[in-house]
Chains A and B, each alone.
Chain A
Amino acid sequence: DVKVTQSSRYLVKRTGEKVFLECVQDMDHENMFWYRQDPGLGLRLIYFSYDVKMKEKGDIPEGYSVSREKKERFSLILESASTNQTSMYLCASRFPRTSGKETQYFGPGTRLLVL
């Protein structure tokens, strides 16, 4: 069974804090993704990575950065948390589109509250 795990299910942080969200997958997937999920807006892509040390901006990268030092781990960083970053954060992983294995696997999510 593919497993995508996220470091925390719930987090409470203060405005201005630096926040790290960690994601680990055990299926040797090249591609990894960070989304945020908000009511009425669905899933919005923040960043994705298609290889170690490679990253691309998604649709809403402002205020976020990412790190991928190892294939199995993809970190989302909020350099200075703000209240509008209160959200559910979902990590996902997948083989490349060219592999024919198109299913994307998601972690359980981290619900972040910024006070």
Chain B
Amino acid sequence: GNSVTQMEGPVTLSEEAFLTINCTYTATGYPSLFWYVQYPGEGLQLLLKATKADDKGSNKGFEATYRKETTSFHLEKGSVQVSDSAVYFCALLLSGGYQKVTFGIGTKLQVIP
């Protein structure tokens, strides 16, 4: 079946540190890949996405590259801020008739001043 694997965390970083959150996936077709973010007390919102191999999604200083050969979509940011503290979800959506997004379990990020 389809699945997304990411560490649960929490990941604790100091402000201005480099962030990597790993995400790998298993899919039977050619998925679109997403990172969603959930700030405390809120629902999820799209952070970035990539729809085909070698695409790079970017937003708010975050980046992730769709790597088909390693089935990965790792999230990176060069310098995190306290305001980046949130839960980050990697997700995939298959091409074709499938309508369901498959989410990872979410990685909690805590950034301390």
Residues of A within 8 A of B (CB): 4, 31, 33, 40-43, 45, 48, 50, 58, 90, 92, 96-98, 102-109
Q: Which residues of chain B are within 8 angstroms of A31 by Cβ–Cβ distance?
A: 99
At the interface, yes or no: B77 with Cβ under 8 Å from chain A?
no
Per the bound structure, the CA–CA distance linking A97 and B95 in Å amounts to: 7
Q: State in angstroms the CA–CA spacing of A40 and B49 once bound together.
A: 24
For chain B, which range describes its interface: under 10, 10 to 19, 20 to 34, or 35 or more residues?
A: 20 to 34
Question: How many contacting A-B pairs (Cβ < 8 A)?
Answer: 56
Q: How far is the CB of B73 from chain A (nearest CB, A)?
A: 14
Some 23 contacts from A to B, beta carbons below 8 A apart, are A4-B43, A31-B99, A41-B105, A42-B106, A43-B103, A45-B100, A48-B99, A48-B100, A50-B99, A96-B99, A97-B94, A97-B95, A97-B99, A98-B97, A102-B32, A102-B34, A102-B49, A104-B44, A104-B101, A105-B45, A106-B36, A106-B45, A108-B43
